[in-house]
Amino acid sequence: MRPTRAALLVAATALTPALLFTTPAFATGSTATATATTVTATSETPVDEMSEDDLRVAIARILADEDSGKAVVREANRALDGTVEDMRAFLETGYRLAQAEDDRVEIFRILGAEDSGKAVVREATKALETDTPEALRAFLETGYRLAQAEDDRVEIFRILGAEDSGKAVVREATKALETDTPEALRAFLETGYRLAQAEDDRVEIFRILADPTISDALRTAAENAIDGTPEELRYFLEVGQYEVDG
């Protein structure tokens, strides 16, 4: 009697530490061919030598992977509902092709994002033009991160060159560029820039409060803003202070 789909998923999840797929190395040329997928259980077993139960557990493990996309899930389920030959074909070739389909969709999503910079668009386009499973996967696993870092570096240099960048912003931007890892560059743009800008804004509001000639209304508004969020500090400097005396 065949094991149920749910039972297979439970078994696959339990076997995850011992049941590992080895994927082909990324191809370096258009003529490179991928090697057949193999599965490691207690020993390396070629797909064409696996039993029906082993094939089912291997596919169930793919279904249990949270990173499996729609195409992979669709083809894995078709294989499980088919013959032993269908399951074997999925593991040998179908999985790779379905993963490529999912990767292609993800790259198109990245290209359509409003915040995708020039380097990301350039490398994503290259991957789509090459259009091999290996090129698509390589972009998502490494190329995207490196291209994003290139775009982030350009953006940080732009911030450094802005006339209104304060001391804290310059300090933190410089730190990010000196560290120069994709993670440090991205962290500055996602959180560090906002916090450094708030530090500079707070200094500027203290400067306003130090002026004895300001109106009582402006002083009250500045005192209310000084302990606010980065967004409230920025709003006061860009808009609020002029509304008070306007």
What pLDDT digit, counting tens, does each position of 125-158 carry?
A: 999 999 999 999 999 999 999 999 999 999 999 9
What pLDDT digit, counting tens, does each position of 65-83 carry?
A: 999 999 999 999 999 999 9
Q: Is the pLDDT of residue 94 over 70?
A: yes
Distance CA 57, CA 45 (A): 13
**67 phi, psi to nearest 5 deg:** -85, -5
- pLDDT for position 26: 35
Q: Is the pLDDT of residue 31 over 70?
A: no
- pLDDT for position 57: 93
Coil vs helix vs strand at 120:
helix
**Residue with the larger pLDDT of the pair 111 and 36:** 111
**Residue with the larger pLDDT of the pair 41 and 173:** 173
Q: Is the pLDDT of residue 245 over 80?
A: no
Distance CA 222, CA 217 (A): 9
Q: Are 136 and 143 in contact (CB under 8 A)?
A: no
Q: Is the pLDDT of residue 25 over 90?
A: no
Mean pLDDT of the chain: 85
Both tokens of 19, joined, read 């049941």
